[in-house]
Amino acid sequence: MHIGVTYDLRDDYRALGFSEEDSAEFDAEETIAALCRALASLGHLPHRIGNVRALTVALAQGARWDCVFNICEGVKGVAREAQVPALLEAFDIPYVFSDPLTLALALDKAMAKRVVRDAGVPVADFAVIESADDIARVNLPFPIFLKPNSEGSGKGVDAHSRVDDQAALERVARDLLRRFRQPVLVEEYLPGREFTVGILGTGEGARALGVMEIVPGEKFVGHGYGLENKEDWVGKLTVHRATGPEAEAAAAVALAAWRALRCRDGGRCDIRLGSDGRPRFIEVNPLAGIRPGYSDLCFIADFEGLSHRDLIGSFLDAFLRRHPELRRAEAAQ
């Protein structure tokens, strides 16, 4: 198959003046190169497209592909991750990973929590601060945890995210509102083990690839898996393959949330245990990082004996199960 590859390259945005934090969600050249190598080794012809603007130009000029492997995070708007899939749907081009509705919903952490809670998936108690006037109306027992409602890669999660009193709530909430210009998610603080669950597949065919635990070290910053801990984790944390009843319970919650949000093909779901030892859904990442030796989903694949090439192949297999016409066309060639 001729497979277009859409992505946001971190170096491109740095050249435009984006800060390290602003560009944290975007991909390194190593990620795109590794993805294209994997696609080629699986017998496909990858075509590097780039971001949503590059895709728009290519489509307007008549470019077409059998399908698109989409890992675009987007730049502007609360539905930024949905822009590329929506554009591809307008041109009737199938693509790997989730659809516009799911991507927009997953990026809005509070809305995603409402949907999975309605489906019976356990979540931490939470509130949303839309403006400074909402701060006084937060009615959750301390300690609580604050973060931007629609960011990824741990942006806005730092040493100040857990707050223990009203004064700290006021200070941190106002700072997040100012810095990120979006609502602030306020959650019951969960003091238990933190897991991330890799998932492959769609709907009832989805399965947990594996469970990874994030274990804070001496230099861990704050009380959450934030940007500073993610970007330079050496000395701050360790990760390992998690097994046993608590990991299995976390995987079950992750799969239930994945299905409730109608995520597709592959990704990650973050789970944390409460003081009662029971897992709670934190958030889902339907466009999880796939940089070898760096991204959590790749670590999980490594723990389970799955190479990067085979991980990409697993995403494609799940995609082709949704598009049997492409599998038939490929077999006929």
* Strand 126-129 with 67-70, pairing: unpaired
Decide if 330 is inside a domain: no
Phi-psi region of 199 (alpha: psi -120 to 50; beta: other; left: phi over 0): beta
More confident residue, 13 or 219: 13
At 277-309, the pLDDT tens digits run: 999 999 999 999 999 999 999 999 999 999 999
Burial of 165 (0-12, 13-18, 19+ CB in 10 A): exposed
195 closest CA partner among 303, 99, 290: 303
Residues 6+ apart with CB under 8 A from 81: 72, 73, 74, 103, 104, 106, 107, 287
Domain check: are 309 and 195 in the same one?
A: yes
Predicted TM-score (pTM) of this structure? 0.93
- How confident is the model over 306-317, as a mean pLDDT? 98
At 240-290, the pLDDT tens digits run: 999 999 999 999 999 999 999 999 999 999 999 999 999 999 999 999 999
At 95-107, the pLDDT tens digits run: 999 999 999 999 9
pLDDT given at position 16 = 78
Decide if 329 is inside a domain: no
Decide if 108 is inside a domain: no
The domain in which residue 150 lies consists of 125-188
What three-state secondary structure class fits 67?
strand
Domain check: are 306 and 196 in the same one?
A: yes
pLDDT given at position 229 = 57
CA 195, 196, 197, 202 dihedral sign is positive
Distances (CA, A) of 271 to 141, 253, 268, 289: 21, 8, 10, 17
Decide if 118 is inside a domain: no
Per-residue confidence band for 13, with pLDDT thresholds at 50, 70 and 90: confident
What three-state secondary structure class fits 32?
helix
Domain check: are 242 and 304 in the same one?
A: yes
Decide if 283 is inside a domain: yes
Which domain CATH number covers 151? 3.30.1490.20
- Give the length of the chain: 333
Count of structural domains, the chain: 3
Decide if 314 is inside a domain: yes
Domain check: are 181 and 201 in the same one?
A: no
Q: Indicate the average pLDDT of the chain.
A: 93
Domain check: are 314 and 196 in the same one?
A: yes
Select, from the ranges 9-18, 71-80, 102-111, the one with the highest average predicted confidence (pLDDT): 102-111
Quote the strand ranges of 13-125, DSSP E. 45-50, 67-70, 95-96
Residues 6+ apart with CB under 8 A from 234: none
Decide if 119 is inside a domain: no
Decide if 153 is inside a domain: yes
Per-residue confidence band for 72, with pLDDT thresholds at 50, 70 and 90: very high
